[in-house]
Amino acid sequence: MNKKLKIYLAIIYSIFLITLIVFAFKFGLKVDLINLLFFSIIGLLISNFSMFFNSMTEISTSMNLPILITVFFLFNPFWAGLISAIGTVAVKFKKKQFVWYKFVFNRADFFLAGAFAAWIFKISRFHLDGNSFPFLSVLLASIVYFLINNLLVYIVINLADNDVNQLSLLNYFRELSKNLIVSYFLGLILLASFIYFGRIFFSLIIILLFIIKDFFYSRLQQMNSYTQIIESFLKVIDSKDHYTEGHCERVANYTYHLCNEMNLSRAKSERIISIAKIHDIGKIYVDDDILRSSKKLTNQEYSEIQEHTRYGYELLKDIDILNNDLDIMLYHHERWDGMGYPEGIEGEDIPVGARVLAICDSLDVMITGRSYKPPMTKEEIIEEFKECSGKQFDPELTEKIIKLIKKGFFDDGFKSREKIREIELSYN
Ligand SMILES: [Fe+2]
Ligand SMILES: [Fe+2]
């Protein structure tokens, strides 16, 4: 653990302790024991059974906040903070090693988020909502919970590993904010069901939400399985030509960074990245000898290779879940000036995903080299991109990739998305 992270954790632990003591004195220890037990148990069940609206990407929302909204309504900030901290304890069935400082950090994070959100709820309910249904107080409390909870985690992620500090704060919060909106409405439904119908009805709504979640989740898993199957096809291409081994995976990683730099929405980035992972799948139909050839290709051989974009498209176009994004694959060798293939479309007629992919695809060729071309240095790559901007590549995107290269993003090959995920999961 680095020094900055140690200092940060020490600060958070201290704030946690001080807030715990001050809130205990300020708001008192009187509590409705039955509800305390009820909400702690519900929280624990939810945290340990499943995540709501889990996505295939790094960030997921749990049902914590929607349930806590009723907790803010019922409890004082001290108890609300405690329920938030207790309800999010993840019980590890498989004995993975227990890291105490992460555990304490998580409790501190959830306590502070829950306690301050409940405090804001109390104040704004008194001033804004009065006796009417607390729409505004719930909104303010949700925002406070969301900001504290995610900001503390964001800082930890960035301090934990200098490699991932490129995770842009704006992008991180923009993506999460969609979850905030969902949480707000679910929270209102749960609160109303608790106020008007009580604990049993509240529990029934949660069960109903879980059934809906399974429905969504199975669709996402289906999409994941498709891409996994296709990725295993890719190993076949890798084995055909050692120069392109791991090519698609690396291109997908570069794509991730470029999408992040462009501030694209998570859904859009995800789709581009999934296609990047399989963009050369059509090569399974191209003759091995042509793919492996280190001699200059004849015109006929060259057009055979060019067909891989169409082959890939034809192969996958009947898979519903992928077909909307397949034009990214079809057009990944189009050029900004219209001199590319297969159709010679130009400029913004080329889907943005295909323009991103074209740049990342070439970047990999430049970094790793091919049988006909040695690898290039960082300076040469920057020069090459400047040279090709507005001809082969979208000038705006070229500027962004040059910026990333200069910042050193691709210095040691590429930084794995898995790494970001690993760190994020361990702190979430
Ligand atoms: Fe290609
Ligand atoms: Fe490629």
Residues 273 and 175 in one domain: no
Pick from 159-163, 253-257, 332-336: least confident: 159-163
**Could you tell me which residues come within 8 angstroms of residue 197 by beta carbon, excluding any fewer than 6 positions away?**
none
Q: Of 131, 163, 197, which residue sits at a domain end?
A: 197
The CATH number for 403's domain is: 1.10.3210.10
Integer angstrom CA distances of residue 59 from 1, 83, 173, 296: 23, 23, 10, 46
Q: Is residue 181 located within the same domain as residue 231?
A: no
Please give the structure tokens belonging to residue 13. 């632990």
CB 404 within 8 A of CB 258: yes
The pLDDT of residue 428 is above 70:
no
Ligand 1 center from residue 78 Cα (angstroms): 58
User: In angstroms, rounded to a whole number, what is the distance separating the alpha carbons of residues 139 and 65?
Assistant: 11
Residue 106 lies in a domain: yes
Q: 194 alpha carbon to ligand 1 midpoint, in Å? A: 56
Range 264-282 average pLDDT: 85
CA 357 – ligand 2 centroid, Å: 8
What is the per-residue pLDDT for 172?
72
| pLDDT score at 404 | 92
> Which residue reads 């019922």 in tokens?
74
- Across the chain, mean pLDDT equals 83
Confidence (pLDDT) at 53: 42
Q: What is the pLDDT of residue 183?
A: 86
Which is nearest to 111 in space by CA: 17, 9, 214? 17
How far apart are the CA of 361 and the centre of ligand 2, in A?
Answer: 5
CA of 256 to the centre of ligand 1 (A): 17
Rounded Cα distance, 405 and 379, in Å: 9
Q: Which of 110-114, 129-133, 218-222 has the lowest mean pLDDT?
A: 218-222
150 C-alpha vs ligand 1 centroid, how far in Å? 39
Query: Do 192 and 227 share a domain, yes or no?
Result: no
Identify whether residues 342 and 398 lie together within a single domain: yes
For residues 184 and 227, membership in a common domain is answered with no
* pLDDT, tens digit, 9 for 90 and up, residues 130-185: 778 889 999 999 999 999 998 898 888 778 765 554 556 777 777 677 778 888 99
Dist. CA 58 → ligand 1 center (Å): 27
Residue 415's pLDDT is what? Answer: 42
Q: What is the pLDDT of residue 392?
A: 96
Q: What is the mean pLDDT of residues 308-319?
A: 90
pLDDT (tens digit per residue) in 201-217: 999 998 887 777 666 66
Which pLDDT band, with edges at 50, 70 and 90, does 35 fall under?
very high
Angle, alpha carbons 275-278-281 (nearest 5°): 130
Q: Of 197, 232, 266, which closes a domain?
A: 197
Expressed in angstroms and rounded, the spacing between residue 37 Cα and the centre of ligand 1 is 58
Nearest to 284 by CA among 303, 305, 269: 305
Q: Looking at residue 426, what is its pLDDT?
A: 47
Look at residue 208 and tell me if it is in a domain.
Answer: no
* Confidence (pLDDT) at 218: 67
User: Does residue 171 form part of some domain?
Assistant: yes
- Residue 31 is part of which domain span? 3-197
Q: Is residue 210 part of a domain?
A: no
The DSSP call for residue 129 is: I
Final residue in a domain of this structure, among 197, 231, 247: 197
Structure tokens at 20: 């715990």
pLDDT (mean) for 47-60? 47
Give the length of the chain.
428
C-beta of residue 108 within 8 angstroms of C-beta of residue 12: yes
Of the ranges 112-116, 184-188, 221-225, the best mean pLDDT one = 112-116
Contact 330, 313 (CB under 8 A): yes
CB 256 within 8 A of CB 269: yes
**Helix-helix angle 77-87:33-49, to 10 degrees:** 30
Among the listed residues 419, 425, 386, the one whose alpha carbon sits nearest the alpha carbon of residue 405? 386
Residue 125 CA, distance from chain mean position: 34
Considering only CA atoms, which of 142, 139, 12, 9 is closest in space to residue 64? Answer: 142
Element containing residue 115 per DSSP (H, E): helix 100-124
Query: What average pLDDT does this structure show over 120-128?
Result: 89
Looking at the structure, do residues 316 and 371 belong to the same domain, yes or no? yes
Tell me, what's the pLDDT at 258? Answer: 93
Within-domain flag for 209: no
Q: Output the pLDDT for position 90.
A: 73
Q: Are residues 261 and 145 in the same domain?
A: no
294 contacts 372 by C-beta, under 8 angstroms: yes
Residue 215 counted as domain residue? no
Given this model, what pLDDT does residue 52 score? 44
pLDDT grade for 358, boundaries at 50, 70 and 90:
very high
3-state secondary structure (DSSP) of residue 250 = helix
CA 215–ligand 1 middle distance (angstroms): 35
Average pLDDT over residues 219-224: 67
Whether residues 271 and 180 fall in one domain: no
Say if residue 258 is in the same domain as residue 156. no
Please give the average per-residue pLDDT across 313-337, as a whole number.
89
CA of 365 to the centre of ligand 2 (A): 8
CA of 247, nearest ligand number: 2
pLDDT the model gives residue 123: 93
**For range 253-257, the mean pLDDT:** 91
Q: Please write the tens of the pLDDT for every residue from 17-30.
A: 999 999 999 998 88
Instruction: Give the ligand with the smallest distance to the CA of 282.
Output: 1
Which of 152, 144, 186 minimizes the C-alpha distance to 53? 186
What's the pLDDT band for 270 if we cut at 50, 70, 90? Answer: confident
Instruction: Write the single-letter amino acid at 148.
Output: I
Q: In Å, what is the CA distance from 17 to each residue of 33, 111, 163, 187, 278?
A: 23, 10, 31, 28, 50
Q: 391 alpha carbon to ligand 2 midpoint, in Å? A: 19
- Give the whole-angstrom CA distance, residue 106 versus residue 99: 11
On whether both 186 and 86 belong to a single domain, the answer is yes
In this structure, what are the phi and psi dihedrals at residue 413, rounded to the nearest 5 degrees? 70, -105
pLDDT tens-digit series, residues 394-423: 999 999 999 999 988 887 653 433 444 444
Considering the domain architecture, whether residues 114 and 232 belong to the same structural domain is answered as no
Listed residues: CB within 5 A of ion ligand 2: 280, 361
Number of domains in the chain: 2
Domain assignment present for 211:
no
Dist. CA 290 → ligand 1 center (Å)? 14
pLDDT at 228: 75
In this prediction, residue 263 carries a pLDDT of 80
Shared domain for 189 and 99, answered yes or no, is yes
One-letter identity of residue 389: S
pLDDT at 198 over 80: yes
- 25 falls within a domain: yes
